[in-house]
């Protein structure tokens, strides 16, 4: 099998790093980005065969440099896992314009223009997987800003699946439920809160980054060639009962 070039934004930890490890095990060449230099250095020291580029997708100059380096070093991108994202949860009436700009610049604007730049390097029949969220499928207290950016990402997936159909580029989304990552995990919220959450999840547990990575790898494979413009919710059944 020809070695594929895989780009993962937000790849220094959590779901992004788990996906990087999975693709690496499959023999792919993996490129990850992240804006925290210390975290990127840790990945570099642990994985000599992962190419790391410190980059903030919300920054136009960083995006330009990112894709210029990928073009110079690798020439193209076969698989793009657009994973970078962050959350800030507040009541709707307390959200400031600074909050809005901070979240939208990463979760939607950064995603939008990263995809636009990546497509210039992606050949026909390549794959795009976007990390959305279960939260935009259900009303959730304090999540109006975060979830609306993820709803926008979900629509973008459908629009691009249509627009890129002539190039046979499949575009899909994954929407994780409650996953143990550095941004959100059982230890962070405490035993009582985590147990309350588990009672609402048919699988009776939080997900792990590897649960997400396996689905991402599948969507990037030939076995998923007829899946396009879809959003796969990976939540242990949470949205089916919540």
What is d(CA 101, CA 97) in angstroms, rounded to the nearest whole number? 6
User: For position 153, what pLDDT does the model report?
Assistant: 98
Q: What is the mean pLDDT of each run of 10 residues along the chain (242 residues)?
A: 90 97 97 96 96 97 98 98 95 97 97 98 98 93 96 98 98 96 86 91 96 98 98 96 84
Look at the chain and count its residues: 242
Question: How many folded domains does the chain comprise?
Answer: 1
User: For position 183, what pLDDT does the model report?
Assistant: 83
Question: ∠229-234-237 over CA atoms, to 5°?
Answer: 120
Residue-number span of the structural domain to which 69 is assigned: 5-241
What is d(CA 101, CA 168) in angstroms, rounded to the nearest whole number? 34
Task: Provide DSSP, 123-156.
Answer: PTT-EEEEE--GGGGS--TT-HHHHHHHHHHHHH
For residue 129, which phi and psi values (nearest 5 degrees)? -125, 125
Active-site annotation, residues: 146
**CATH number for 143:** 3.40.50.720
User: For position 1, what pLDDT does the model report?
Assistant: 52
Query: Given CA atoms 206, 208, 209, 214 in this order, what sign does their dihedral have?
Result: negative
168: left (phi over 0), alpha (psi -120 to 50) or beta: left
Query: Given CA atoms 54, 57, 63, 69 in this order, what sign does their dihedral have?
Result: positive
C-beta of residue 127 within 8 angstroms of C-beta of residue 169: yes
Q: What is the pTM of this model?
A: 0.95
Query: Given CA atoms 35, 39, 41, 43 in this order, what sign does their dihedral have?
Result: negative
User: For position 188, what pLDDT does the model report?
Assistant: 84
């Amino acid at each position: 099998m020809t070695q594929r070039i895989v780009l993962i934004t937000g790849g220094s930890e959590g779901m992004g790093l788990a996906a990087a490890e999975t693709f690496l095990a499959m023999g792919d060449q993996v490129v990850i980005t992240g804006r925290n230099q210390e975290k990127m250095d840790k990945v570099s020291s642990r994985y000599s065969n992962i190419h790391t580029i410190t980059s903030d997708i919300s920054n136009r100059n960083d995006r330009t440099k990112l894709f210029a380096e990928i073009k110079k070093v690798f020439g193209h991108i076969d698989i793009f896992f657009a994973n970078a994202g962050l959350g800030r949860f507040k009541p709707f009436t307390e959200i400031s314009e600074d909050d809005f700009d901070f979240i939208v610049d990463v979760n939607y604007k950064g995603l939008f223009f990263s995809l636009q730049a990546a497509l210039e390097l992606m050949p026909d029949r390549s794959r795009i997987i976007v990390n959305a969220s279960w939260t935009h499928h259900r009303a959730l207290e304090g999540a109006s800003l975060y979830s609306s950016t993820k709803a926008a990402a979900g629509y973008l997936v459908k629009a691009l699946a249509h627009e890129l159909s002539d190039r046979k580029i499949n575009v899909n989304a994954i929407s994780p439920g409650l996953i143990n990552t550095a941004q959100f995990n059982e230890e962070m919220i405490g035993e009582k809160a985590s147990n309350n959450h588990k009672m609402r999840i048919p699988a009776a547990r939080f997900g792990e980054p590897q649960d997400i990575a396996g689905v991402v790898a599948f969507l990037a494979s030939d076995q998923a060639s007829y899946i396009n413009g879809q959003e796969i919710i990976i939540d242990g059944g949470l949205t089916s009962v919540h």
